[in-house]
Amino acid sequence: MSAVATLPRALPPLDHEQLLVRRGPRSGLLTIVAVHSTVRGPSLGGCRMWTYAEPADAVRDALLLSRAMTYKAAVAGLPLGGGKGVIMLEPGMRLTARRRRDALRDFGETVEQLGGAYVTAEDVGISSRDMPVIAEETTHVSGLAVSRGGSGDPSPFTALGVETAIAATCAAVFGSPDLRGRSIAVIGLGHVGSRVATRCARAGATLVVADVDEGKRALAERLGARWSTPAEALRAEVDLVAPCALGGLLDAESVVDLRCRAIAGAANNQLAADDVAELLAARGILWAPDFVVNAGGIVNIAVELEPSGYDAATARRRVRAIGRTLADIFAAAAEAAITPLAAASALGERRLAEPGEAARRALASRRVFAQGAKPAAG
């Protein structure tokens, strides 16, 4: 797992509504926003600050992730579309505190130029502390602190959704959602992965955990988990693997070495290519589509849009519904003899094509943003 995202140079199909690439006047860094769809409402997606070998790699990442966000929101039944933001770092670059702040403000200006078509949130390399800085330049920010009317850090809700999805996946494979006695490999112990590991440990699972940061060994010790490298954890003989770092780890080569029965994790774009879903199915490994599993954060943020205001209990209840959605997808896939990816994508397509109702929800969401019912700078 390299600290530099190295992606194939070819861009994905450009079926997006907007792509804005702008060099920040303060920081000199490239800021990128891809808006895939606003059919169901404003596009929502996190901003990641990450290192890429070339600008084309950063653009490709934004395009792929924004498309996944569209399907994530649609499958979850949310009045939102899909977008993604990227602040590109060059290999070996280390930002001073001043330049980092400048980059965040530059990104905020990029978001503002889209006029509400995109609402940003935190992602890899961005924390809840960064969101108020972005909000200095745009009102189209979510996930601000509860004290400012937002819902705060979305990662606990993402982790809750992942745990719910892991339980639903275990139910489909082993006949019970109970995690007691199950063996799970959690790869990536960041904001979400560390919470997923903690939740699974508390539920009684035996854990193998891995991260590129050796400092995360302390968490492994606290949880009584076996420490491993990411590559070894992917090949571990466990019931389920939970990828919670960057995507692309499942490809034709790595699938051959898998020794698990199921995969369900928080990482986006886990499949290097869609046809890897067929390879997993051929090996008898149940893969829970990542854009279904990791929807907890966006489900939580969607509650911010409601005129009645944010309510954490409502958010938790809706996040737990991810388990039911995933169970329905597994059932539909089994009945039609297709992969869970195909079943989840079909559900997303149906919801994107809903006449009338989707347009009504989209208009209502835009009005909420325009009228400032969201938190200030949110």
Question: Which of 194, 208, 199, 185 lies closest to 264, judged by CA?
Answer: 185
Pairing of strands 30-37, 81-89: antiparallel
Q: Is 216 a catalytic residue?
A: no
281 contact partners, CB below 8 Å, separation of at least 6? 287, 339
Instruction: Tell me if 87 sits within 8 A of 47, measured CB to CB.
Output: yes
Q: What are phi and psi of 305, to 5 degrees?
A: -75, -15
Sign of CA dihedral 307, 82, 72, 87: negative
Both tokens of 341, joined, read 């990816």
Instruction: Tell me if 66 sits within 8 A of 83, measured CB to CB.
Output: yes
- 92 φψ region: left (φ > 0), alpha (ψ -120 to 50), beta (else): left
Catalytic residue annotation: 84
